[in-house]
Every structure is written in C-alpha cells, then in structure tokens.
Amino acid sequence: MDFLTLFLVYLCSVLAVTAVLCLCSGRKESFLARNVNRASQVLSLVIPTQLQRVTQRALHRLFHTRSSLFVVLHMALQAAVFGEYTWEVFGYCWELQFHLLLLLLPYLLLAGNMGCFLLCSRANPGIITKSNHASLVKVYAYDGVMFQRRIMCPTCAMEKPARSKHCSVCRSCVHRFDHHCVWLNNCVGASNTGCFLLYLLALTATAATLAAITAALLLHVVLLSNAMHGTYLDAQGREQPVDIAFLVQHLFLTFPRIVFMLGFVVLLTLVLGGYSSFSLYLAFTNQTTNEWCKSRRFGGSQQLTSQPHNKQLVYRNIYSKGICRNLKEIFKPPTALERKKT
C-alpha cells in the first residue's frame, strides 16, 4: 500500500500548497504570511541572490498584479477532469445502464458554474470613481469602529465609503469589498458578490456530483465482480480475505486515472464545501471576508484617539438585517435612495 499512501499525500500536498498560496496572497499581515516570510529569510541564506530576485519578481507578478495564470489553470483543471469523465467514466456508466439524466447532470452544472465564472471575472465589482463616489458614500452607514468618516484613500485621493477597501492588485477602491480572487483575476465586491456565491455553490455541486457518480461506478464494478468474497496471497504467501485496503489497491491498478480523479474531486469537494459554507455564513450575516478578518483583530485593540483610552473597541455588525434581507442585498445591492427608505 506504499503507492496509495504516496498518492494520498500527493493530493493533500497539492491542495494544501494551493490553499496556503491563496491565503497568503494579498494578506501581508496574516499568520501564514509572517511564517512564509520567516521561512524565506532562512532560505535566503542558501539560495543564490539572483534566483531570489527572479522568484520574488515571479511571486509579485503572480499575486500582486492582475494575471490570467490562475484563470488558465482553472480552465485546465476543469478540462482535465471532464475529459477523464467523458472519456472513461461516462462510457463505463453508459454500458452499466446508468440513467442518462444522471450522467448529463455534471455537464449542466459545468455550464452553470462556467457561466457564473465568466460573469464574475468580467463584471465591474463596484469600482469607486469620482463620478459615483458621492452616491456610494450614502449607501452604508459608518459604524465608527471598522469604518469611520473622513478616512482618505492615499492612492485614489477620495474619502473611503463605508465597507470599501482599496485593492492593491486592481489599483482601485471597491465598494463593499470582499476580497481579490486570483482564480477570477478580479475583485469580489458589491456588484458581483451574488454571482460569486452562485459560482462557488455550482462548482461545489459539480465536484460532488462527479465524485458521487465515479464512486457509484467503482462500487458497481466491485459488486459485479464479487471481489468482496475473494481471497489473495499476502507477502508471506498466506491466503487472506479481501479487505477494503486491497480493494482500493486493486481498483487503483485497474482504473488508475478514474481512481486518481475520484481522489482529487473528493478532496476538492471538501475544500470547496468548507469555503462555500463560510461564504454562506457571511451572506446570511451580511459580512464580507474583509470585515470578518478585521473583526477578529478588534478584541484586543485600543479605542481610537477620539475615544477614552481606557476602553476597548467593541465591534458590532450594524449591517445585518435578518437572513432574508441580507440575501436580498447580496443579489440586489442597495442604492443610496433605498437606504433612506429603510
């Protein structure tokens, strides 16, 4: 079972490295970013200076400038997974008389998530300009803790509306800024948060459906072969009854690409499922990722200079209006006129 262990370690490592890179990008003060910086300082003692400069330029271009590399990678992963599904899984399932609608469901979900992906990546996330600045300032109230009046953006030279943030990658202030997504090559803000949530849910459903159909195929093969009732000879030449570990090894050797794809989409489903659940929580409570991260730091922060110094900052989400109204705001961003009516 050494090859299977290496296979699982490989899948976990790829997803873990991807998650760490995405978490570190754009968060210079995060725990992960600090540890990456410390590790790079240690490695700088043994890595040639010229190679360090090339690596730093590449990482800066990758994570701190707009780049289509992750978009291309996203498309390549989708193409690889669906290529394998179409080439082998669909054919085997069709021979085993799986229902046609079930086999076509991943393609329908793919069309949905790709449509949302294109809308999110090409949409204006809510960039604040001089022409719309006056109206956007009136959309959300300042909470006096996380967002305060008369705070200027040094780059855009405009007062920051509540819930906005300057994106160093897009080089613009974004209204109701959530985060900059390298996979979209675009910010997620007031104008495309709803579409981004649908994209995440559709992508999660696509991965889960592929995993379920592929697992059902392999289970069907095992049942038809009656392998569970067989025996095998172990390394010492002793006859042993077939167990789960042996079945996984047998399936991997018989259908290596299918099992590899299954392992990848299962782990992807878990990662995307966790992120989708977090995004739903933010939508239900009317928070952005930027606000949620900032709110974690207010527990031990001192009060601002305009307030008594012996008091602690107490952050309270003043933007939540109940689940239904919060979701409505996600898919239909409010205007200044709508805020006055509430």
Catalytic residues: 181
Helix (H) and strand (E) counts for the chain?
13, 8
**Using CA atoms, how far apart are residues 188 and 193, in angstroms rounded to an integer?**
6
The single-letter DSSP state of residue 319 is S
Task: Identify residue 315 by its one-letter amino acid code.
Answer: Y
How would DSSP label each residue in 66-133? --SHHHHHHHHHHHHHHHHIIIIIHHHHHHTT--HHHHHHHHHHHHHHHHHHHHHHHS---B--TTTH
- Beta strands (DSSP E) in 160-290 are 165-167, 172-174, 179-181, 186-188, 231-233, 239-241
Length of the chain: 342
In this structure, which amino acid lies at residue 294? K
Residue 112 tokens, joined: 């949905």
The secondary structure of residue 302, as a DSSP letter, is B
204 contacts: CB under 8 Å, gap ≥ 6: 269, 272, 273, 276
Say if residues 176 and 193 touch (Cβ distance below 8 Å).
Answer: yes
- DSSP letter for 237, please: S
Contact 190, 335 (CB under 8 A): no
Strands (E), the chain: 152-153, 158-159, 165-167, 172-174, 179-181, 186-188, 231-233, 239-241
- What is the number of alpha carbons within 13 Å of residue 216 lying toward its C-beta? 17
Between strands 165-167 and 172-174, the pairing is: antiparallel
